[in-house]
Amino acid sequence: MATQGTLLLQKQLKDLRKNPVDGFSAGLVHESNIFEWEVTIIGPPDTLYDGGYFKAIMSFPSNYPNSPPTVKFTSEIWHPNVYPDGRVCISILHPPGDDPNGYELASERWSPVHTVESIVLSIISMLSSPNDESPANIDAAKEWRERRDEFKKKVSRCVRRSQEL
């Protein structure tokens, strides 16, 4: 029997195939697994990531949409809100409810109304404007704040590498 999550993800996949969204493409890693998607994010225009093609894997839990997916870049990316291992750290991917650390409002965290599209658009927005207040990559955040030229060089290198793949 198909679960609510399976049905929702099938509908979202069908919608994205019918009406692609500017800035990214998404599809299944394996046609047999609706819970694992590959996403390619095109670096947003007029940002340091402009021209890049960044691949990521979105893994949905079995209780989706009650819990958020994880998103992990498989392309190299230098960003304050991306852990060194590629995991994306943005509020909407954090479990629903109050933040035990008090950084985020419950309204900023995961809600079952989010879709693949709204998640990826949030990641694109994150690329456009890093949040260095609660960084996942402390070195990138520090560099973003204190040595912007070095930060730009590293991002340029990531963009070039993403174009070569």
Catalytic annotation present for 89? yes
Q: Structure tokens of 71?
A: 């998103």
Q: In whole angstroms, give the CA distance from residue 125 to residue 138.
A: 19
Give whole-number Cα distances, 151 to 124, 140, 154, in Å. 18, 7, 5
Residues 82, 89, 119, 127: which is the catalytic one?
89
Spatial strand order of the sheet with 24-28 comes to 24-28, 36-42, 53-59, 70-73
Instruction: List active site positions.
Output: 89
